Amino acid sequence: MDFSEIYNEAVIRTGSHKKLMELLPKPCSSNLLSKISDDRYLSTMARCIFRAGFVWRVVDNKWPNFEEVFLNFNPLAVAYLSDERLEEIATYKSIIRHPTKILATRTNAAYILDKEHEYGSYANYIASWPSDRVVELWRQMKKEGSRLGGMTGPLVLRIIGKDTFLATNDVLVALKKYGYIKTHSNGSMKDLFRLQEIFNEISKEIKMPLCQISKIFALSTLR
């Protein structure tokens, strides 16, 4: 199916071309991504992790408290929080008291520091990664970080501005509907690499970033 037909379906379901454009994510350039401070990367990781399986609004309302408790997510400061301090943080009613997610925040601070040592900053690491291989970046985040598997890692990248598609249920439904795939297993790297190929091919053809193509697929099946 020609992607222009899918685009037109998304326009119909959102109400207008203008409305669709307003809904599409805007990726940052590599230059802009490299200028984002690493504490914002850690903050975004933590926010996505605490949102997982929880009401996002509740987490977002408490986020200023998270920023205070986790020292504005300075990676060096968070990485050296003691076990005793993490246990204390897990008793604070001002945040979400989830010990394993609190521990994951310290682990991810150390992960970011490792990349700072290798690339100068975590921001440089993310900025330099080619979006046409973004699935491999998802895999590395899952392997080297903590609780960054599934949709969490890709959401971190999307929020921070890295061009990435998302393998959400809406996107997968659309891909099946329009004949791009027959089946998909979220745990299968083979299937994820196939999605990467599909999005790369469409992006090359229509000169549109992966994140916008992904969103158009999702919106094309909007009820």
Q: Which of 19, 157, 146 is nearest to 167 (CA)?
A: 157
Residues 50 and 92 in one domain: yes
pLDDT single digits (tens) 12-48? 999 999 999 999 999 999 999 999 999 999 999 999 9
- How far is residue 116's CA from residue 35's CA, in Å, rounded to a whole number? 13
* Residue span of the structural domain in which 71 resides: 31-160
The pLDDT of residue 223: 74
14-18, Cβ contacts within 8 angstroms, sequence gap of 24 or more: 14/219, 14/222
Mean pLDDT, consecutive 10-residue stretches, the chain (223 aa), reads: 93 96 97 98 98 95 98 98 98 97 98 98 98 98 97 98 96 95 85 96 97 98 82
Q: Are 62 and 132 members of one domain?
A: yes
Q: How many residues does the chain have?
A: 223
Total count of domains within the chain:
2
Nearest C-alpha neighbor of 90 from the set 50, 40, 146: 50
170 and 211 belong to one structural domain: yes
Q: Are residues 15 and 36 in the same domain?
A: no
Clarify whether residues 47 and 87 are in a common domain.
Answer: yes
CATH, residue 88: 1.10.340.30
Q: Rounded CA gap, 182 and 195, in Å?
A: 12
Residues 154 and 184 in one domain: no
